[in-house]
Amino acid sequence: MAGLAIRPLRIGIATDALHERVVDRQVRIANGGVGVYVHQLVRHLLSIDRVNEYFLIRFGRGQLDIYSHPRAHGIFLPDTRVNRAVALTGDPYSRLARELRLDLLHFPNMFGGGFRRGQAKQIATVHDLTPLILPSMHPMKRVIATRLALTRCMRDSDRVIVPSQVTGRDLMKTTSVQPGKIVHIPEGVNSTMRRISPTVEFAARYQITRPFILTVGVLEPRKNHNLLLLVLRELRIRGHDLELIIIGRPGWRWRSPLKMMRFEDIRPWVRILADVSDVDLVEFYNRAALFMYPSFYEGFGLPILEAMACGAPVISSSTSSMPEVAGTAALFADPVDAQSFAEQARRVLSDRGLREAMVDAGVTHAKRFTWQASAEATLALYEEVCTSGAPASPS
């Protein structure tokens, strides 16, 4: 840790982007990549930084482990519609910044920024701009909220963290932000994502009887799940006895392909699992014959790296940040071309040498991305911003 600060910093982190759910009496993360980002970043900041103070701010009481950490102060605001609406003005954060004497407040999901009245520095993380780039694949209220939040975020933040170079370029195309304000800090792979030995118990519990293609992600149009059913059909016609397993929680405008007549012929070989524990997810990754990620657009695409870390060969879309994140360890295809995805899959399934090379390359590549490195870079940024002078007044 860089020792730039003259005194311990008082750092606030808005953690409302970390959604929770209780399953089998266990508290789990209820949303996808953004929730994982907030949880892992805070966990690792608290692990590596034994100097500065952290204030975790959210509406409603947080139950995940970060809130009970002895060095974290949980600041729980009354969770009402009125309070959440008022928060969009930034006033609650402005008040808390004064009362808690914060040096800095980090918004890990952009929303809530623009709180400042000169008393603290502000950092925001922008994960992607898909509501603006692909507005037809998002509810209109999300598109409008993103546009408003982005304007305030760019205006009032001292620095803006992006997980990929692609998101940084998107920001410069979409806003008037200065390049020097953008800081590229990649996300990491949870250390639990690793190669393991498959278990008989798991196979029996999930009735795994044949090889399967796996995909992981929120169930919504942008993730392009229907293409994988076309791929599965093509591969089965070519003699590959495969299943397709889709893991993810239902999202906006999700319509299960299992209810569509055009996929009636392959329904027996498709499963959609909406609630899988982290432990089971690791074994699904490990068992996958292929991990396929046909998303139309991603700001980072963390499941790509998780799959690689667990030894699954990856075939990903050739768009947005996915080639940047996957590097040379994956194969790529156009997300509007099911035949191209099927051909790449056929190559891996038919060429053992190619598969083994992809597995080895993927495991090695994924090791480059750690949450500790993300936390260290974020902490260095906190200290740099807090020692660079008084915050500028909002324009």
Q: 220 and 159: one domain?
A: no
Residue at 3 is within a domain:
no
Distance between CA atoms of 198 and 212, rounded to whole angstroms? Answer: 14
Please compute Rg for the chain using Cα positions.
Answer: 22
What is the per-residue pLDDT across 220-266, written as a single tens digit (0 to 9) for each? 999 999 999 999 999 999 999 999 999 998 889 888 999 999 999 99
pLDDT of residue 33: 87
Residue 114 near residue 105 (C-beta atoms within 8 A):
no
| Res. 395: pLDDT tops 50 | no
Q: What is the DSSP letter of 164?
A: S
- Name the band, by pLDDT with cuts 50, 70 and 90, for residue 114: low
Q: 183 and 34: one domain?
A: yes
Report which of 268, 273, 253 is spatially closest to residue 138, judged by C-alpha positions: 253
Residue at 392 is within a domain:
no
Q: 180 and 257: one domain?
A: no
**The domain containing residue 107 runs over which residues?**
10-188+371-386
Q: 226 and 145: one domain?
A: no
- Name the band, by pLDDT with cuts 50, 70 and 90, for residue 390: very low
Q: What is the pTM of this model?
A: 0.93
Q: 282 and 296: one domain?
A: yes
Q: 92 and 139: one domain?
A: yes
pLDDT of residue 21: 84
Please say whether the dihedral angle defined by the alpha carbons of residues 205, 206, 210 and 212, taken in this order, is positive or negative.
Answer: negative
Q: 141 and 258: one domain?
A: no
Residue at 286 is within a domain:
yes
Q: 329 and 378: one domain?
A: no
**Torsions phi, psi of 307, nearest 5?**
-65, -45
Residue at 134 is within a domain:
yes
Average model confidence (pLDDT) across the chain: 92
- Name the band, by pLDDT with cuts 50, 70 and 90, for residue 6: low
Give the amino acid at 229.
L
Q: What is the DSSP letter of 24?
A: T
Q: 79 and 208: one domain?
A: no
**Counted domains in the chain:** 2
Q: 347 and 235: one domain?
A: yes
What average pLDDT does range 2-31 have in this prediction? 82
What is the per-residue pLDDT across 338-358, written as a single tens digit (0 to 9) for each? 999 999 999 999 999 999 999
Distance between CA atoms of 27 and 46, rounded to whole angstroms? Answer: 19
- Name the band, by pLDDT with cuts 50, 70 and 90, for residue 389: low
Q: Which residue has the tokens 């963390």?
A: 302
Distance between CA atoms of 186 and 116, rounded to whole angstroms? Answer: 26
Q: 379 and 262: one domain?
A: no
Reading the block at residue 198, the tokens are 């498959």
Residue at 252 is within a domain:
yes
pLDDT of residue 309: 98
Residue at 325 is within a domain:
yes
| Res. 279: pLDDT tops 70 | yes
Residue 324 near residue 299 (C-beta atoms within 8 A):
no
Residue 80 near residue 358 (C-beta atoms within 8 A):
no
What average pLDDT does range 101-106 have in this prediction? 96
Residue at 5 is within a domain:
no
**Where residue 258 sits, what CATH number does that domain have?**
3.40.50.2000
- Name the band, by pLDDT with cuts 50, 70 and 90, for residue 391: very low
Distance between CA atoms of 119 and 96, rounded to whole angstroms? Answer: 10
What is the per-residue pLDDT across 46-70, written as a single tens digit (0 to 9) for each? 999 999 999 999 999 999 999 999 9
HSE, CB side, 13 Å, CA atoms: give it for residue 38. Answer: 30
Q: 206 and 96: one domain?
A: no
Residue at 89 is within a domain:
yes
